[in-house]
Amino acid sequence: MREKDEATIAVLGAPRSGKTTYQLALLAGMTAVGGRFSLHAHHEDGVDMFGRWQAIVDGGQVDVTDAAPVRRVFTFSRGLVPLTDVRWTDFRGGALDTKGGPGGASDTAELYEELARADCVFVMLSGEHFRRPAGRRPGAELLGETRAHQISRLITMTCTRRHEAALPLPALALLVTKADLVDWEERAVGDVVEELRTLLPVAFGAGTRTAVCRVSAGPLNGTGQGPAQRGSAAPSGVHLPLLFALAEHYRTRAIRLEERLAASALRQEQIGRELAELSPRSRWPRDRRHGDLQQELARIGRERAGDRAWADRHRAERRALLPALKAVAMFQDGRPVASGEQEDG
């Protein structure tokens, strides 16, 4: 049986920024990728999510705030081959506004834990705020409504801790949700990207890998508030942040595995030298050393075969995602990454 690996997505977004609706629209919208990639929810989660999505399609209530975090695991597949389990917990936006430490809110504490292990952080920013050009500096209202300060603080905290633990930093996907509320003929995407830079400079700093994606569940209610209008659900662009997150997950995993392979190759050489130095006429204690080294060599050999297979597999899966990502604006250390550079990067 082919093993699956696991990726975690953590989501940061102000209350009502569209986090829950996005997750529902993504599940419904993944069929729009032409069946090449798919996502399915496990067990009763799928029933629950499609029920809620159907309510939106039928013109029902959209904005249900789940008080407790809703933990979900999805399986991402290419064709019919399941590749990666995606852990993804939906928190209420209010979890950003409370403390997570002792005496703080339990969902905030859980959000911090999710950030600590996230492969990718989705930052949800409602299109409502990008309808008209912002000034040269984001105003207090925009900073407050998007929770930009809280989001920056959490990203900085997460990256600092990862640095200290010598772990890779999470990729960042900035999602302009409710993108249907923006008239993109009037607003150049590049201008919105520049506004995101001033709003969340941390997402464009040294060491970051960031994508900017416009996503919409459909015009729903035309205002971003209240129940949807019947027949208005039409997911658009929803799959791209997920494909970016997975491509980055595969890239980071392949790099980590190559590092491990390099370290184990060094150890193999060391053992080889030590074995050569052991005298063939060695007495019992040395024989034991000989046996231990042989055993270690065999173990390393098995590990290396596994690591090599996974590294190759992750690279191949990443390559398979790249054509779909051509439409995504990506940044490395804040500088745009041309889609050609993605091939070897």
Ligand X SMILES: Nc1nc2c(ncn2[C@@H]2O[C@H](COP(=O)(O)OP(=O)(O)OP(=O)(O)O)[C@@H](O)[C@H]2O)c(=O)[nH]1
Closest distance of CB 70 from Mg ion, Å: 8
219 scored as a contact of ligand X (CB under 6 A): yes
Question: Contact between 208 and ligand X (CB under 6 A)?
Answer: no
Q: Binding of ligand X at residue 252 (CB under 6 A)?
A: no
Q: How far is the CB of 326 from ligand X (least distance, A)?
A: 23
Residue whose CB is less far from ligand X, 83 or 217: 217
178 binds ligand X (CB under 6 A): yes
Q: Name the residue nearer to ligand X (CB basis): 174 or 220.
A: 220
Residue ranges binding Mg ion (CB under 5 A): 19-20
Report the residue from 7, 9, 10, 21 that binds ligand X according to the rule CB under 6 A: 21
Nearest residue to ligand X, scored by beta-carbon proximity: 93
Tell the smallest beta-carbon distance from residue 300 to ligand X (Å).
47
Position 16: which residue type? R
Sole binder of ligand X in the list 92, 147, 209, 313 (CB under 6 A): 92
Least distance (Å) between residue 316 CB and ligand X: 33
The answer to whether 15 contacts ligand X (rule: CB under 6 A) is: yes
239 binds ligand X (CB under 6 A): no
SS3 annotation, the chain: CCCCEEEEEEEEECCCCCHHHHHHHHHHHHHHHCCCEEEEECHHHHHHHHHHHHHHHCCCCCCCCCCCCEEEEEEEEECCEEEEEEEEEECCHHHHCCCCCCCCCHHHHHHHHHHHHCCEEEEEEEHHHHCCCCCCCCCHHHHHHHCHHHHHHHHHHHHHHHHHCCCCCCEEEEEEECHHHCCCCCCCHHHHHHHHHHHCHHHHCCCCEEEEEECECCCCCCCCCCCCCCCCCCCECCHHHHHHHHHHHHHHHHHHHHHHHHHHHHHHHHHHHHHHHCCCCCCHHHHHHHHHHHHHHHHHHHHHHHHHHHHHHHHHHHHHHHHHHHHCEEEECCEEECHHHHCCC
Our finding on whether 217 is near ligand X (CB under 6 A) is: yes
Q: Is 180 in the site for ligand X (CB under 6 A)?
A: yes
Considering only residues 65, 160, 294, 339, which one is a binding residue for ligand X as defined by CB under 6 A?
65
Residue 52 binds ligand X (CB under 6 A): no
List Cβ neighbours of 205 (8 Å cut-off, separation of 6 or more). Answer: 333, 334
CB of 184 to Mg ion, least distance (A): 25
For the bound state, the minimum distance from the C-beta of residue 341 to Mg ion, rounded and expressed in Å, comes to 36
User: Quick check: 97 binds ligand X (CB under 6 A)?
Assistant: no
Amino acid (1-letter code) at residue 176: V
Among 7, 8, 12, 13, binds ligand X (CB under 6 A): 13
Question: Beta-carbon neighbour count of residue 214 at 10 Å?
Answer: 25
Q: Does 93 bind ligand X (CB under 6 A)?
A: yes
What is the closest distance, in whole angstroms, from the C-beta atom of residue 93 to Mg ion in the complex?
7
Residues that bind ligand X (CB under 6 A): 13, 15-21, 62-63, 65, 92-93, 177-178, 180-181, 216-217, 219-221, 224-225
